[in-house]
Chain A
Amino acid sequence: MRELVLDCLRAVRAPLTAILLTLALGFVLVSAIADDPVRAYRDLLFANFDSLGNFALFLNRATPLTLIALGVIFSFRAGIFNVGGEGQLYAGAIATTIVGVTFTSLPALLLFPLALIAGILAGAFLGWIPAVLKVRFAVDEVVTTLMLNIIVLLFTSYLANQVIRDPTSYGAVSRVLPEAIWLPALPGMRGATSGIVIAVVLACLTWVVLFRTEWGAQLRAAGTNLRFARSVGIPADRRIITAMLIAGGFGGLAGTLYVLGIGHRFEQNFSPDYGLVGLTCALLARIHPIGALATAIFYAMMINGSAYMQISTDVPRSLVDLLTGLLVLLMTARLARKGQRA
């Protein structure tokens, strides 16, 4: 038990430093341009807790971020540089929507699991392509996931505009899912998705699977040292492909839960770059599931709070994008120059 607590503390410490550094940098920037930087920063971080409505929106942002980060963790732990979170998210969202608006005659008890599974499978399929290309032909997975992101984005744009578009509403959105299969809100909180509970449970589960099972150890071995893993008889290729299936599945689940619990329909460009931010959360947390939960929550606070900050102090909300850019640019840097030569 004590070991578990220590492990989690260690996981949270590294990202905390990076976050505090970014926040400090942002504060300098805000004080340079705003009359009331303290007010701006209070709203950025704590306006999320001012009302139940704000808090609900914050939870709704934390859910997809956490799930994508968990997917990224699975793939990175298996040594796959998966930047395809965005594509997997959209694939899951569109698959769930298509199932949800096509088979409306099915009873909710059947339709709900069907829509859920469709979303997860669509995401997993998107994770499977780069994994197989990587394992079979050594095609660089960064390229394939990056390109697949754009392909999926274009494909969903086609579907949302031409196939499942709601003709009565403005903009490229699908028809609304039948209310019977909406994910119930958190008890006592209107508009807050209960997907966050799923995300927290899955974060703990991910930790157990990765760090407390033999399967997880084999997966991590394949990621740390492929040749070693192979020579001690670990089916590394299989572990890598499975890890990417799970990673894609997590991304798909993020999209699915967004559609079922938050949007209730597919909206083109519904994600404010959740894929890349989720990746950022995972990397900030040093690819640790519990740490990623913490960084995802922090990021959801910042993304959601930036709107309140803009309203109350007219510091532009794009400040958060700027800070994210800085953070992503800096976060993998090491100060020690001669640490290791790759």
Chain B
Amino acid sequence: MTAVSLLSSVLEQSAPIVLAALAAMITLRANILNVAVEGMMLVGAFVAIAVGDATGSAPLAFLAALVASIAMSQLLAVMTLRFSADFIVAGLGINLLAAGGSLFALEWFYRSPGGLRPVSFPDLWHVPAGSLSFIPVLGPAIEGQSIVVLLAFLAVPACAVFLYRTPTGAYLRAAGEDEHAARSAGIKVGQMKALSLAISGLLAGLAGAQLSMDKLHFFLPDMTSGRGFIGLAATLFGGGQPWITAAASVLFGFFGALGDRLQAFAIPSQFVLMLPYVAAIVGLTAARWRAHVRNRPARMARPKET
């Protein structure tokens, strides 16, 4: 029973991280370091609650969250691709804009800077209890999860298929790997990058909707609390490979779910929460170091330049 409840809470905790990680991964494959996942998630979370509060319809709130998040991603795409703004700076700008904008809306329209808590809020579709009890362990753990959790784990194979089995995915990866070569092969690099950002916005919007609409039904300023960056860390650790990235995010979600319980073993929760970021730096360094070692003979033959 405890295994089921732990698995269930790991699934729930890691779903937004998996989505954030895929959102960062899909742009990373188009050679964009997407630091704006956090902001796009926050916008999704806020819009979900605001629209759900205003219309009382869960599907509408859900759709609005996705649309808002995609709109943010396209704002970033326009600024960077059309007006050649720097990706990192503009991405951080998106984060600030999302945090400042949602706080401003809370303070001005709702007059409650502490957060937005609608009295009643429509529920997302959840897997009905007892419907999957014929599958041992996994079945009961999936029961009661929201549809977004299911979508999150379906998004992993979907992203893998998109990247490796479709022409568009191949173009996208080509645009990321060598822009000039891709351009001379007739691939519209700008379009591919904008597309990757749009998919990233979609996934981040899902993650945001999951955060605010599943179970909690309210919005708090800064409620994403770094999950976008954990996702980015997972992607970097996984080297942009969908399955490794997803595995890393589940692992980080697992540590997040464990974080508080580990305090019993005298490990401060902060150190557990640090793990994803340390793993990202170590993983990235290890990958570079391997490449460094592998290329050593070739590098010795050449005059030193990088």
Contact = CB atoms under 8 A, between A and B. Distances in A.
Contacts of B97: 322, 325-326, 328-329
Interface string B258-284: 000000000010110110011011001
B92 interface: yes
Question: Chain B contact residues: over half helix, strand or loop, or mixed?
Answer: helix
A163 B305 CA distance: 46
A330 to B, nearest CB: 7
A83 B79 CA distance: 20
A328 B274 contact: no
Contact of B89 (A33, A158, A161, A328): A328
A154 B93 contact: no
B83 A329 contact: no
A319 interface: yes
A81 B90 contact: no
A316 B103 contact: yes
A140 B33 contact: yes
Contacts of A142: 33, 35, 88
Interface residues of A, number: 52
B139 interface: no
Given A325-B98, A329-B79, A155 B84 contact: no
B285 A316 contact: no
Contact of A327 (B88, B93, B284, B306): B93
A332 interface: yes
B305 A321 contact: no
Interface string A99-125: 000000000000000000000000000
Contact of A332 (B35, B89, B280): B89
Contacts of A279: 89, 92
Contacts of A322: 97, 100-101, 103-104
Nearest to A231: B305
A316 B289 contact: no
B285 A137 contact: yes
A154 B273 CA distance: 8
Interface in B195-238: 226, 229, 232-233, 236
A314 B103 CA distance: 14
A340 B83 CA distance: 11
B103 A143 contact: no
Given A143-B284, A155-B274, A158-B268, A329 B305 contact: no
A283 to B, nearest CB: 6
Nearest to B102: A318
B85 interface: yes
B9 to A, nearest CB: 22
B92 A328 contact: yes
Interface residues of B, number: 50
Tell me which of A33, A155, A333 has the highest count of chain B C-beta atoms within 10 A of its own C-beta.
A333
Contact of B305 (A83, A230, A318): A230
A163 B285 CA distance: 31
A137 B289 contact: yes
A328 B75 CA distance: 13
A150 B107 CA distance: 27
Interface in A233-265: none
B86 interface: yes
Interface string A136-147: 011110111011
Nearest to B269: A158
A313 B172 CA distance: 50
Contacts of B134: none
Given A158-B271, A325-B98, A337-B84, 15 more contacts: A138-B288, A139-B285, A143-B281, A146-B232, A147-B229, A151-B278, A157-B270, A279-B92, A322-B104, A325-B97, A326-B93, A329-B93, A331-B85, A331-B93, A333-B85
Interface of B: 33, 35, 75-76, 79, 82-86, 88-90, 92-101, 103-104, 107-108, 113, 226, 229, 232-233, 236, 268, 270-271, 273-274, 277-278, 280-281, 284-285, 288-289, 292, 304-306
10 nearest A-B residue pairs (beta carbon) = A321-B100, A325-B97, A329-B93, A328-B93, A316-B107, A325-B96, A333-B83, A322-B100, A158-B270, A333-B85
